[in-house]
Amino acid sequence: MFKKILIANRSEIAVRAIRACRELGVKTVAVYSEADRESRHVALADQAVCIGPAPAKLSYLDAEAVLSAAKITGADAVHPGYGFLSENADFAEACRSRGLVFIGPPPEASRKLGYKSSAKAVALEAKVPVVPGTKGLVAGDAAREAAAIGYPVLIKAAAGGGGKGMRVVRQAGELAAQLATAANEAKAAFGDGAVYLEKLLDRPRHVEIQIAADGRGGAVAFPERDCTVQRRHQKLVEESPSPALTPEIRRRMQEAAVRLVKAAGYANVGTVEFLFQDGQFYFIEVNARLQVEHPVTEAVAGVDLMELMIRLAAGEPLPFGQERAGEIRGHSFEHRINAEDPDNGFAPCPGRIETLELPGGAGVRVDTHAYAGYTVPSYYDSLIAKVITFAPDRPSAIRRSLRALGELQVGGIKTTAAFHAKVLSHPVFQKGDFDTHFIETHGLLDSKEPQNA
């Protein structure tokens, strides 16, 4: 086991990693920007190093600053969390060259699966169904390729995610302008303007499979997460298991995910994402890291994924097989509570949290870095807390979530907690029969929010 791990991230995921390390008896190093000097992860770690000014590109995205912090503190491993450098294969390679263990997949696997177009090629080789689209990047006659796929088509950035560099094209006359817009947005967000085309599925669900692999030939898939409730391609509510999957479809999806990661030589934890529509599932991408929504899998599977991630990176084998990994022990929801104003187009609401009351009780978990007196900075993602609930079945988990969301009180800034309660209370959501357009279709957006987002 490692002696000291540097956490190359911030906010609640840094707190999550530090807590896991403490339970494993491993010392930790926090890195922080000048804007995060008062963040909880800085206080919780055994050591802390300031790595630069507030902008992420000058701090959390500065690989050399992170590696220097690891060297001067004597860390022997780096945990990247999610976002920032977590899926950067060059950073993983740099860690290896400096004698540091990167707690995540090997860079070779990240390069195969982190780039969406190459991941699609691996999926095809592993006989995993994919959404019809271009065989590679858009490089030649885009109009001909789009016509061959059939409109409507979806332009997607080859690197990154979160809806950046993504545009819907419903007719040929829109293609050129939307290609330019998507490429420019992808270039600005990820430093890479490459895009590709896929057939647009009009009413899909977003379902993903958490996997773990030990690099010794062992790989398992956990119960799925349903991340269908989204706004502008950003996940809001996640749950496990999905109310839409039958046991047979679940088994086939898990088997496809395991085939894919084995074909790529993947090790450690990761997520294989699918779209699901009309009884069929289609591979879309791999997130070669721990997901924001991993706690719902932890609740349903009864596994600490953060601890497993660290143990696998330390060279330990998988401690269980597929039968144990695939067990479903109840139902779980995760609610991403953001410092945003849903009544004003979800405008960011950074500022000082004057008071904070967190929910508790049976089956309620809150992952957060916030506290009363903490100032939410304007430079980063607006997530301030994740409220995770667990109950024996879906209706009970919905009621528990409503209770927990009602108990959450944040004074001084606006949050999305009430919007989550609005989603849970909707009869269509409670029935479980919805798709990725649920929020727009059922009028849950304020009038100030663009309805075609």
Q: What is the 3-state secondary structure (H, E, C) of 305-355?
A: HHHHHHHHHCCCCCCCCHHHHCCCCCEEEEEEEECEEHHHCCEECCEECCE
pLDDT in tens, 263-289: 999 999 999 999 999 999 999 999 999
In a domain, 163, yes or no: yes
Cis peptide upstream of residue 152 (ω within 30 degrees of 0): yes
Query: How large is the average pLDDT for residues 357-386?
Result: 97
Query: How large is the average pLDDT for residues 349-368?
Result: 98
From 153, 173, 199, give the residue that closes a domain. Answer: 199
pLDDT in tens, 34-77: 999 999 999 999 999 999 999 999 999 999 999 999 999 999 99
Q: Which of 296, 326, 328 is nearest to 226 (CA)?
A: 296
* 33 and 141 part of one domain: no
* 64 and 98 part of one domain: yes
In a domain, 98, yes or no: yes
Averaged pLDDT of the chain: 94
* 225 and 187 part of one domain: no
Cis peptide upstream of residue 392 (ω within 30 degrees of 0): no
Predicted confidence band of residue 177 (pLDDT cuts 50, 70, 90): very high
* 279 and 184 part of one domain: no
Tell me if residue 224 falls in helix, strand or coil.
Answer: coil
Q: Is the pLDDT score of 169 beyond 60?
A: yes
In a domain, 30, yes or no: yes
Q: Is the pLDDT score of 398 beyond 90?
A: yes
* 272 and 420 part of one domain: yes
Query: How far is 31 from 41, CA to CA, in rounded Å?
Result: 9
Predicted confidence band of residue 133 (pLDDT cuts 50, 70, 90): confident
Look at residue 115 in the predicted model and tell me its pLDDT: 77
Look at residue 424 in the predicted model and tell me its pLDDT: 97
From 199, 232, 249, give the residue that closes a domain. Answer: 199
Q: Which of 91, 122, 118, 84 is nearest to 105 (CA)?
A: 91
In a domain, 338, yes or no: yes
Helix axes 247-263, 116-125, angle to 10 degrees: 110
* 210 and 285 part of one domain: yes
* 333 and 262 part of one domain: yes
Query: How far is 144 from 212, CA to CA, in rounded Å?
Result: 40
- Give the phi and the psi of residue 8 in degrees, each rounded to 5: -90, 60
Look at residue 453 in the predicted model and tell me its pLDDT: 34
Look at residue 136 in the predicted model and tell me its pLDDT: 74
Look at residue 447 in the predicted model and tell me its pLDDT: 45
Instruction: Assess contact for 284 and 275: CB atoms under 8 A.
Output: yes
Query: How far is 221 from 324, CA to CA, in rounded Å?
Result: 10
For residue 430, what is the domain's CATH number? 3.30.470.20
Query: How far is 364 from 406, CA to CA, in rounded Å?
Result: 12
Q: Is the pLDDT score of 189 beyond 90?
A: no
* 237 and 379 part of one domain: yes
Query: How far is 209 from 226, CA to CA, in rounded Å?
Result: 9
Instruction: Assess contact for 300 and 309: CB atoms under 8 A.
Output: no
Look at residue 446 in the predicted model and tell me its pLDDT: 62
Query: How large is the average pLDDT for residues 405-433?
Result: 97
For residue 182, what is the domain's CATH number? 3.30.1490.20
Query: The domain containing residue 342 runs over which residues?
Result: 205-441
Look at residue 452 in the predicted model and tell me its pLDDT: 38
For residue 87, what is the domain's CATH number? 3.40.50.20
* 152 and 181 part of one domain: yes
Look at residue 111 in the predicted model and tell me its pLDDT: 92
In a domain, 125, yes or no: no
Which pair of tokens denotes residue 102? Answer: 């990167």
Is 400 noted as a catalytic residue in this protein?
A: no
Q: Is the pLDDT score of 450 beyond 70?
A: no
Instruction: Assess contact for 31 and 47: CB atoms under 8 A.
Output: no
In a domain, 127, yes or no: no
From 179, 199, 219, give the residue that closes a domain. Answer: 199
Look at residue 164 in the predicted model and tell me its pLDDT: 84
Instruction: Assess contact for 281 and 220: CB atoms under 8 A.
Output: no
pLDDT in tens, 218-273: 999 999 999 999 998 889 999 999 999 999 999 999 999 999 999 999 999 999 99
Which residues in 257-271 are b (16+ Cβ under 10 Å) and which e?
bbbbbebbebbbbbb
Which residues on neighbouring strands pair with residue 30, listed in sequence order? 7, 48
Number of domains in the chain: 3
In a domain, 436, yes or no: yes
Instruction: Assess contact for 51 and 62: CB atoms under 8 A.
Output: yes
* 190 and 218 part of one domain: no
Query: How far is 212 from 251, CA to CA, in rounded Å?
Result: 16
Instruction: Assess contact for 419 and 396: CB atoms under 8 A.
Output: no
* 408 and 349 part of one domain: yes
Annotated active-site residue in 16, 111, 289, 400: 289
* 89 and 178 part of one domain: no
In a domain, 39, yes or no: yes
Query: How large is the average pLDDT for residues 304-321?
Result: 98
Which pair of tokens denotes residue 417? Answer: 């907690």
Look at residue 117 in the predicted model and tell me its pLDDT: 74
pLDDT in tens, 1-39: 999 999 999 999 999 999 999 999 999 999 999 999 999
